[in-house]
Amino acid sequence: MMQFYARFAVRTFTHSKLRTWLTMLGIFIGIAAIVSLISLGQGLKTAIGAQFSALGTDRIIVQAKSLNFGPPGQGTVATLTEKDMEEIERVAGVGEVAARLLKTAKAEFNDRTQFTFIGSIPETQEGRRLIADMFRLRTDKGRLLTSGDRKKVVVGSNYADKDIFGKPVDVGARLILNGESFEVVGVMAKLGQPQIDGSILMPEDAMRELYGLDDEVSAIVVQSQKGVEPSVVSERILKKLRTFRDVKEGREDFTVQTSGELLATLGTILDIVTAVLAGIAGISLIVGGIGIMNTMYTSVLERTNDIGLMKAVGAQNKDILMLFLMESGLLGLVGGAIGIVIGVLLGKGVEIIATFALGTALVQASFPWYLIIGALVFSFVVGSLAGTLPAIQASHLSPVDALRRA
């Protein structure tokens, strides 16, 4: 019987092709938007998770409270100092500790000027190893910074592209940073992280001299000792700094987070943003549902005679009800299937553009099976619900009234 309903519905669609496509328009626009947005949100979470896995589960980030997003330490309101780092080193369970300075600089090369992001590399071997492991720093050309480097820098992979300064920045080149000359000793391998691929690394002492900094630090990276739970160490650091900086609980001007907590925070933010955008895209589904409802009402009026004839030869109310519900459900289902295809193409298109135009691997489209199946089921349900009232109206028509109206 269901096959009969389906064949009947398909035959109806083929008789009114233009109206069928216009009816499905809202559905596949809404589904396409939802699928592409959710896939990009899920892909971004996966990519960020992969990036954070490089941090290691034993890493803790301490930074002054910030009013914006970005790499640790950017846009800070308060400041941390080397004295804070010394206090952290005294905390039980703390292993290696490294400070970082994060600033922007005026960079000049090949008679062109750009403003860029500068990050410091610790002077100690242990600190350099901690930062290099944390951010997976490695070079395609030259070398990383070592002890004794002064007026030397390592540039991100983006500088190997001639688009920034008109020609590639290579090993041996000299960059003018805030009016001072620095020799490039290494070009980093592409990591797919814009904040690193587009940055310049400089020895900490040279950076303090360049910016006239005393003991200020932008962020402090902590590695907990083996066998000690990072969350326990994080809580100890929080209490220690709260006492040292003389701030009350809940009024801290700094944050202490494990790598897992940072990932959870970013994941929550992404989930909220994705949900809001998907909700906005869902408006198209509502419009599409209204379109299906109007189409089905029109279909009922146009097929009043057919309904009367079917009832006159024995069709029951449930048969008419199922027939119209099947039609509206199939409208939603086909519209959803088209929307999924468009959504996949949109998601992959954004991923390709981000990879080649922006040079980042963070923007990825992910299409888990439950997203595809869920979108199909949801579109079918929307179509069926939209056709419920017209279907009920059609099923309640009496044969005599239907034939008389015809």
How would you write the pLDDT of the chain (406 residues) with one tens digit per residue? Answer: 556 555 655 666 666 677 777 777 878 888 888 888 888 887 777 776 666 666 667 889 898 876 344 444 444 457 899 999 999 999 999 999 999 999 999 999 999 999 999 999 999 988 999 888 888 889 999 999 998 898 999 999 889 887 788 899 999 999 999 999 999 999 999 877 777 888 999 999 999 999 999 889 999 999 999 888 888 999 999 999 999 998 888 888 898 988 777 777 777 777 787 778 777 777 777 777 787 788 777 777 666 666 667 767 676 777 777 777 888 888 888 888 999 999 999 988 888 887 776 566 667 788 888 889 988 998 888 888 888 887 777 677 666 565 555 5
Residue spans per domain, the chain: 2-51+265-405, 56-258
DSSP state of 269: H
Question: Is residue 72 a contact partner of residue 265, using CB atoms and an 8 Å limit?
Answer: no
Beta bridge partners of 219: 63, 100
What pTM was computed for the model?
A: 0.64
Spell out the alpha helix ranges (H) of 158-248. Answer: 194-197, 204-211, 230-244
Question: Is residue 233 a contact partner of residue 93, using CB atoms and an 8 Å limit?
Answer: yes
